[in-house]
Amino acid sequence: MSDTPPRDHRRGPRHPRWRVVVPAVLGGGVLVGFGSAATSAAWTDDAYGVAEASAALVDLRGSSDGAAWSPADTAGAAVRLAAVTDLTPDKPVQRTVHLWNASSVPLALTWASTNPTTLLDGCVAVTYSPLPAAELAGSPSSATAAAVTTATVTFSVPAGANAAACSGRSLGAVDVVVQGGTS
């Protein structure tokens, strides 16, 4: 005798449900894939653009006398100002810095943050006049009026400093840096 239940032959052979579901899902995925590829292809196109470009020459020069120009925009290439001697509280000393934008583009000028504001252990205060607010025109071939400006550096004994200790002190040459940037 057999323990297997008799098969119901009225229904026909039984197929597992996954044999119907898997092909239907795969077929639907293929249709979705073809549809999205066709849509993507319809919305994709090549685009081309043309523009001119050129390199800019940036060259800021400085001078203490307005005649002998040298690079002025890095710590290794600063404007060297003449020595300052015999400072007293009532007699500040000013030095003029001449600046020439020898660049091919206009430059906005700023004093470098590394420039000194005090020297000789606080006996000398250093102040800087404002630089032009407008960009300085560029002139690579010569120091034309539109490409040149001046600024002032003032050395003084600050109020409240020990006059006996600070009066008559002298400074050697002082280097200052001006930076130029394009907007």
Q: List pLDDT tens digits, range 77-97.
A: 788 899 988 788 888 999 999
Mean pLDDT estimate for the chain: 80
Q: Is the predicted pLDDT of residue 156 greater than 80, yes or no?
A: yes
Give the C-alpha separation, 149 to 24, whole Å: 81
Q: For residue 155, is pLDDT > 80?
A: yes
Residue 119, helix vs strand vs coil:
strand
For the chain, the domain total comes to 2
Average pLDDT over residues 50-63: 76
DSSP E strands, the chain = 60-63, 70-71, 79-81, 93-101, 108-111, 118-119, 124-128, 148-156, 174-176, 178-181
State whether 172 and 94 are in the same domain: yes
Query: Based on the domain organization, do 122 and 165 belong to the same domain?
Result: yes
What local confidence, expressed as pLDDT, does residue 1 receive? 53
112 in the same domain as 30: no
pLDDT value at position 38? Answer: 61
- Answer yes or no: is 27 within a domain: yes
Kindly tell me the burial class for residue 7, based on how many C-beta atoms sit within 10 Å of its own C-beta (0-12, 13-18, 19 or more): exposed
Answer yes or no: is 1 within a domain.
no
In a domain, residue 150? The reply is yes
User: Do 70 and 122 share a domain, yes or no?
Assistant: yes
Quick: pLDDT tens for 107-148: 999 999 989 999 998 889 999 999 998 999 999 988 889 999
Do both 92 and 35 map to the same domain? no
Task: Tell whether 28 and 80 lie within a shared domain.
Answer: no
The per-residue pLDDT for 97 is 94
Identify whether residues 108 and 160 lie together within a single domain: yes
DSSP H helical segments within the chain, as ranges?
A: 18-43, 163-166
pLDDT of 94 reads 94
**What was the pLDDT predicted at 15?**
59
Residue 163 pLDDT > 80: no
Q: What integer pLDDT is reported at residue 78 of this predicted model?
A: 85
pLDDT interval class at 170 (50, 70, 90)? confident
Same domain, 76 and 42: no
| Burial letters 20-59, b for 16+ CB under 10 A, else e | eeeeeeeeeeeeeeeeeeeeeeeeeeeeeeeeeeeeeebb
- Considering the domain architecture, whether residues 80 and 131 belong to the same structural domain is answered as yes
What residues make up the domain containing 42?
A: 13-46
- Report the amino acid identity of residue 40: S
